[in-house]
Amino acid sequence: MTDVANNPSYLLRRPETRATSVVFASPHSGRKYPASFLNKIELNELEVRSSEDAFVDDLFGAAVEYGAPLLLAQSPRSFLDLNRGPDELDPAVIDGVRRVAHNPRIVSGLGVIPRVVANGRAIYRGKLTLTEAHTRISTVWRPYHDTLQMLMDEAHSTFGEAILIDCHSMPNEALENVGPPGAARPDIVLGDRFGASAASSVVEHVEAAFASAGFRVARNMPFAGAYMCQHYGRPSRRHHAVQVEINRSLYMDEAAIKPNANFKAFKAALDGVIAEVADIGRKDNLRIAAE
């Protein structure tokens, strides 16, 4: 494994030999909080971290062992959300932004520069300048996405297709109304924007990998995929994007943002899933995945 780049936006881990068209990426696990940011916000340390996909970068660390690159956010989601478009600017938090057509993510305070963290808690005391917003986009958002696009193009050039596994975690409480009353909550939610961002055969293989490890899997509810799936998922061009949401209660104490007693066992089980998902993109299996 080699760490190819390490900057304020991302850390890229590459395998010694690229053996699969699958790219693993974690856009919300960054936890390098700039002091200048912390000085501007209303939140304490735990509150500002509540939107983090904490430890997801660690959970998917085995990807490189199976021949896949792993792209990890360094900058935190509350500072800038890499799973949003660069034009999703919120006039309620950025001075000088004109109101545009209705965008539910912006309205809810979850634009590219978020206004709130989990449970709708406001991040800032006042507004940011448009210059500062553009600076964050140019120094954090663009380097990450330029690198992700490069990895996808590289996969397509080498293997004839590219498969993005967009790695996330979700609060257990977000699953309260998923499924019939009294039913067990899913462990994993796969998002393919209801078939728009990945071929059904690819999603079926990813689902089978999780199910064979004993995980309960749901699709698209309550999370179907956001910008990553919208932008990188082009099945007709053999570019597939699947969002993976993991129930945080499986591996962490959500209130304390610390690994729980099940962390090592969960990671061991996930390593097996990662191996199976990476196999989807190996040259011998590409025809099967495309069927």
Per-residue pLDDT tens digits for 236-291: 999 999 999 999 999 999 999 999 999 999 999 999 999 999 999 986 665 444 54
Dihedral sign for Cα atoms in the order 12, 190, 211, 234 = negative
**Residues counted in the chain:** 291
Q: Tell me whether strands 10-14 and 239-247 are parallel, antiparallel or unpaired.
A: unpaired
Q: What is the mean pLDDT of residues 110-114?
A: 95
Q: How far apart are CA 35 and CA 14, in angstroms?
A: 30
DSSP state of 137: I
CATH of the domain at 197: 3.40.630.40
Residues 6+ apart with CB under 8 A from 2: 13, 14, 16
Show the tokens assigned to 282.
Answer: 């190996």
Q: What is the rounded average pLDDT for all residues in the chain?
A: 92
Categorize the per-residue pLDDT at 118 as very low, low, confident or very high, splitting at 50, 70 and 90.
Answer: confident
Per-residue pLDDT tens digits for 200-237: 999 999 999 999 999 999 999 999 999 999 999 999 99
Domain that holds residue 88: 2-290
- Res 160 pLDDT > 60: yes
Structural domains in the chain (count) = 1
Q: Model-level pTM greater than 0.85?
A: yes
Residue 180 is predicted with a pLDDT of 63
Residue 282 is predicted with a pLDDT of 87
- Res 4 pLDDT > 80: no
H/E stretch holding 273: helix 263-280
More confidently predicted of 151 and 98: 151
| ∠ CA 7-13-17, rounded to 5° | 145
Show the tokens assigned to 120.
Answer: 């709708």
- Res 79 pLDDT > 80: yes
Helices 263-280, 200-212: axis angle to 10 degrees equals 150
Show the tokens assigned to 27.
Answer: 């856009």
Residues 6+ apart with CB under 8 A from 14: 1, 2, 3, 4, 64, 69
Residue 275 is predicted with a pLDDT of 97
- Indicate the residue type of 83: N
